[in-house]
A and B are shown apart, each in its own frame.
Chain A
């Protein structure tokens, strides 16, 4: 109705203001984002490609990479399964205490990584009742791999759920209801309707959870006990190399995690635009259901 002016007069800033703000934004982002990224790769390659590959194929580096991959391989599926279950219960049903559960899911976000690691030391360390019992049965959790996995699960706990809940809510339940009314079983509906509807959000939840699982440092540092080549994940190994003044090697291993971070951001950019599928018109659905 109103004639849309392409330039929208009155909403444009004076050119001097615009140029000044863009310049400030670029300098700030360059200072805190781009210079650090470039620095990682420059420092990693300062002793040449040979030293770079030697650093990332060193037996200790390989052990750290293996433990990092294993940790993520356990933490990500568990937390994604939880994300699916929680988003189904929360987005599809009304029950008392829903808001409370949403708040509780966020707790690991507001806990310092050091405190997160400490929780598991207090719970399962040899001085705790439960930890003492485990020690009597020769089960080592703290200062061993299981502790690292537990701390990682705690730190990455909310990520998939936080991603899936709003998507599940936005998609709506009409198609699932239609499937059930038409005689589909629960799992049939889940695999043929629910999962295809949220698949991009699910994938993004996995990517995000994975990046944080592989990169967690503080919590893992507390529970690892720093046993060389045995309980080091990549971020912990970086700390050891750095404290040994092996800077080029520390940055070489860092460059792998930086590449993972950049890949995560690129995946986020592409997945976010596909996250919410085009909703079918309710009228079509009514017809489908009636048919």
Chain B
């Protein structure tokens, strides 16, 4: 009966050809053709050209800052995002709904707005910067500012990947652990934490991937000094402004490859995560 219903379903509903055709055509025009140009453009470069662009000292300094600051931002978000998600799911406190709504702000706020605002706050005379300056801590126009901006843009990802998993987590296991004599810390480390690890890693990867490509919020706060506070998207932008399309393309291909590798990793993580939840 169920099998019959299933076969009938694929036959009875209309519009398969129309919708799939439109989907493929639109996907091709908007995404696949533009993406393929970058790879075709790369083939027109000679090896020495390619190598000169992707391995120059300035580019290497930009990779280091981009990857380093993105890892730092995603790590900060993993720790504090976890605490935010835990508090939202497990505790009651005033302002909880407001926080739950506003956690997605970095996703909705235009990056140029975020950029100028964070710069204003962390500049030497800003609301927070003025208290850090006497301590010798420079945030705006320094690598630390890049980390602040990348932490901001990645904030929703860790919270929003852990939160639903935590909500679905059956508290009976915790009760069982407590009944069997486990301390709360043991329960957390041995029962709760293992269940959350796939979601935490997914959140980390999403925040990292977002941070790696970020431009708008970094461009204002970093100061854009080559070799010092220049992230890879800024380097690509400055090459484009000088009409060095070959150099920009070469670096973009390296970054795209890294992004696709992360995307693949996230897919694997999510499959692992859903298998865990199903079990």
Chain A interface (Cβ < 8 Å from any Cβ of B): 8-11, 13-14, 17-18, 21-22, 24-26, 28-29, 31-37, 39-40, 43, 78, 81-82, 84-86, 88-90, 92-95, 101, 103-108, 110-115, 118-123, 125, 127-128, 153-154, 157, 173, 176-177, 180-181, 186, 189-190, 211-212, 214-218, 221-222, 234-236, 238-239, 242, 247, 250-251, 254, 257-258, 260-262, 264-266, 268-269
Q: Which residues of B sit under 8 angstroms from A242, Cβ to Cβ? A: 116, 220
Contacts of B27-57 to chain A: CB distance below 8 A: 27, 30-35, 37-38, 41
Instruction: For the complex, give the distance between the alpha carbons of A31 and B139 in Å.
Output: 14
Contact across chains for A118 and B236 when beta carbons are under 8 A apart = yes
Taken together as a complex, chains A and B put the C-alpha atoms of A164 and B67 apart, in Å, by: 33
Question: Does B127 sit at the interface, judged by CB under 8 A?
Answer: yes
Contact status B111-A101, CB under 8 Å: no
Please pick, from A93, A95, A119, A127, the residue contacting B38 in the complex, using a CB distance under 8 A. Answer: A119
Q: Looking at B31, B97, B113, B152, which has the most chain A CB atoms within 10 Å of its CB?
A: B113
Find out whether the CB atom of B103 lies under 8 angstroms from the CB atom of A177.
Answer: no
The minimal Cβ–Cβ distance linking A147 to chain B, given in whole angstroms, is 12
Report B-chain residues with C-beta under 8 Å of the C-beta of A115: 38, 213, 233, 236, 252, 255-256
Are B116 and A254 neighbours in the complex by a CB distance under 8 Å?
Answer: yes
Question: Whose C-beta in chain A lies nearest to the C-beta of B104?
Answer: A265
User: Quick one: given A154-B34, A250-B116, A254-B117, are A89 and B103 in contact (CB under 8 Å)?
Assistant: no
> Are B31 and A180 in contact, CB atoms less than 8 angstroms apart?
no
Contacts of B114 in A (CB 8 A): 36
Known interface pairs A113-B214, A113-B215, A235-B110; 16 further A-B residue pairs with C-beta atoms within 8 A, sorted by A's residue number: A17-B184, A29-B99, A33-B99, A33-B103, A33-B106, A39-B121, A89-B23, A105-B31, A112-B233, A114-B236, A118-B248, A119-B38, A154-B31, A218-B216, A254-B116, A261-B105
Chain A proximity of B4: nearest CB distance (Å): 12
On chain B, the residues within 8 Å of A28 by CB distance are: 80, 83-84
CB-based contact A112/B255 at 8 Å: yes
- Distance of A218 Cα from B267 Cα, bound (Å): 26
Of B20, B41, B108, B171, most A-chain CB atoms within 10 Å: B108
Give the residue of A21, A120, A217 whose beta carbon is less than 8 angstroms from that of B91: A21
A113 near B213 with CB under 8 A, answer yes
CA distance A185 to B34 in the complex (A): 37
Residue of B nearest to A17 (CB): B184
Interface string of B72-97 (1 = CB under 8 A from A): 00000000100110111011010101
List A contacts of B10 (CB < 8 A): 93-94
A37 to B116, CA, bound (A): 12
Select B23's contact among A22, A101, A181, beta carbons within 8 Å: A101
Q: Which residues of B contact A173 (CB under 8 A)?
A: 9, 13
In the complex, chain B residues whose CB is within 8 Å of the CB of A258: 109, 113
Q: Is the CB of A95 within 8 A of B262?
A: no
In the complex, the chain A residue whose C-beta lies closest to that of B155 is A32
Kindly report which residue of chain A lies nearest to residue B236, judged by CB atoms: A114
Could you say which residues of chain B place their CB within 8 Å of the CB of A215? 108-111, 113
Say whether B132 faces chain A, with CB atoms less than 8 Å apart. no
Knowing A36-B117, A92-B13, A238-B113 touch, does A217 contact B175 (C-beta < 8 A)?
Answer: no
Q: Does B128 contact A (CB under 8 A)?
A: yes
Determine whether B227 belongs to the interface, using a CB cutoff of 8 Å to chain A: no
Once A122-B245, A186-B15 are accepted as A-B contacts, the answer to whether A112 and B214 lie under 8 Å apart by CB is yes
Most buried by B among A14, A107, A186, A222: A107
B174 touches A222 (CB 8 A): no
In angstroms, Cα B111 to Cα A14, docked, is 40
Cα–Cα, bound, A211→B111 (Å)? 12
Is the pair A39, B127 in contact by a Cβ cutoff of 8 Å?
Answer: yes
Which of A43, A121, A218 sits near B120, CB closer than 8 Å?
A43
Residues of A within 8 A of B35 (CB): 107, 111, 119
